[in-house]
Structure 1
Amino acid sequence: MRTEAAQRIELVFSLFDANGNGVLDSEDFDLMADRVVKAAAASDDDAKAAIRAAFRRYWKTLATELDANGDGVISVEEFRPFVLDPERFGPTVTEFAEALSVLGDPDGDGLIERPLFVDLMTAIGFEEPNIHSLFDAFEPDAEDRVTVTAWAVGIKDYYAPDKAGIPGDRLVTVPTA
């Protein structure tokens, strides 16, 4: 596993611990889904339902694969190796990536405008300078939009254990001026 991938996963764990109790539990994924849906007020009900389902699947996959003792929580030590295993976690990441990127395209034109991208990523918990750096890495068009596809691929790459130098690395490191 590359150092960059490990750093990305540590950050994801800290963000998904939405209730701040140091472990992941079902409440975290409900809280995160609520925040993201609230940020996507203009998106349609199907897109909102899809992201809620993706968060539920994310939790269900973790709980099924990692909660061997049945205590209803996942520690960071349990989380690290599993999330970076594309064979075990890939379909969950794909569903999440597609649901989140489509949520960012309420008008269905295949493009995501920067303000909504920032709102959604802020709802997840990323820092605003890092969000703008990521958006810029996706090479927005002249109207400051990125494609749904570029964002979905970027999310999937974020979870790839063998990738470095990807746009998602900008979410971990503070961009320099």
Structure 2
Amino acid sequence: MMCMRDEAAKRVELVFSLFDANGNGVIDSDDFDLMTDRVVAAAAGSDDSAKAAVRAAFRRYWTTLATELDADGDGVITVEEFRPFVLDPERFGPTIAEFARALSALGDPDGDGLIERPLFVALMKAIGFEEANIHALFDAFAPDAADRITVAAWASGIEDYYAPDLAGIPGDRLVAARTV
């Protein structure tokens, strides 16, 4: 595996804390159900196929984690189990790519290839990111004059977020100054 940058480690710690949607200190299937329901609810204007795709992507994310990491079969993933696996592109890259495509497409209910800031913010808040950090991320994607970013830029940004060797990426703005 590639060398993990400090920025990547911080991104992973944040993702783990967000995926622990019920706050019990581990990630389990219920956490993914809670997060999926929140994200789908935030995308009320999206069509059923986009909602189904994001549900499938969240389910695959959980299934991949459970299959790869839950060696003792207890149905939970600890941060220690999560950290090295999620930043391994060989093992987790396809799952992240599917998740990135599904989530970014969910943000484009009219299919024009563009995501408006309000829906982007709603989806990211549903995941659990802080609003100030969400706006900083959106701005880092260089929105157009109508305050929109491309679906492709967001999908690429999601994939970059999980890259162990990247720093100075838009996703690093999500880690800045979290309040608990």
- TM-score over 0.5 (shorter chain): yes
Please give the TM-score of this superposition, normalised by the length of structure 2: 0.96
Does the CA contact (< 8 Å) of 1:9 and 1:80 recur in 2?
yes
Task: Return 5+ residue gaps in structure 2 as ranges.
Answer: none
Report the equivalent of 1:122.
Answer: 125
Report the equivalent of 1:39.
Answer: 42
Mapped to 2, the partners of 1:97 and 1:29 lie a distance apart of 16
Does the CA contact (< 8 Å) of 1:67 and 1:73 recur in 2?
yes
Equivalent position to 2:27, from 24, 44, 47: 24
Report the equivalent of 2:79.
Answer: 76
Paired residue total? 175
Mapped to 1, the partners of 2:131 and 2:23 lie a distance apart of 20
Mapped to 1, the partners of 2:131 and 2:53 lie a distance apart of 25
TM superposition shift of 1:32: 0.4
Mapped to 2, the partners of 1:167 and 1:100 lie a distance apart of 17
Report the equivalent of 1:95.
Answer: 98
Offset from partner CA, 1:102-149 (integer Å, 9 cap, x none): 000000000000000000000000000000000000000000000000
Please give the TM-score of this superposition, normalised by the length of structure 1: 0.98
Question: What is the DSSP-based 3-state SS (H/G/I as helix, E as strand, rest coil) of the residue aligned with 2:118?
Answer: helix
**1:109 and 2:100 matched:** no
Report the equivalent of 2:141.
Answer: 138
Mapped to 1, the partners of 2:90 and 2:32 lie a distance apart of 22
Task: Return 5+ residue gaps in structure 1 as ranges.
Answer: none
TM superposition shift of 1:156: 0.1
Offset from partner CA, 1:54-77 (integer Å, 9 cap, x none): 000000000000000000000000
Mapped to 1, the partners of 2:70 and 2:52 lie a distance apart of 26
Equivalent position to 1:150, from 136, 149, 153: 153
The letter of the residue matching 1:124 is: I
Q: Report runs of 4+ in structure 1 exceeding 3 Å deviation.
A: none
Root-mean-square deviation (CA, aligned residues, Å) is 0.8
Mapped to 2, the partners of 1:53 and 1:27 lie a distance apart of 15
Question: What is the DSSP-based 3-state SS (H/G/I as helix, E as strand, rest coil) of the residue aligned with 1:146?
Answer: strand
TM superposition shift of 1:174: 3.1
Equivalent position to 2:69, from 66, 69, 78: 66
Does the CA contact (< 8 Å) of 1:48 and 1:103 recur in 2?
yes
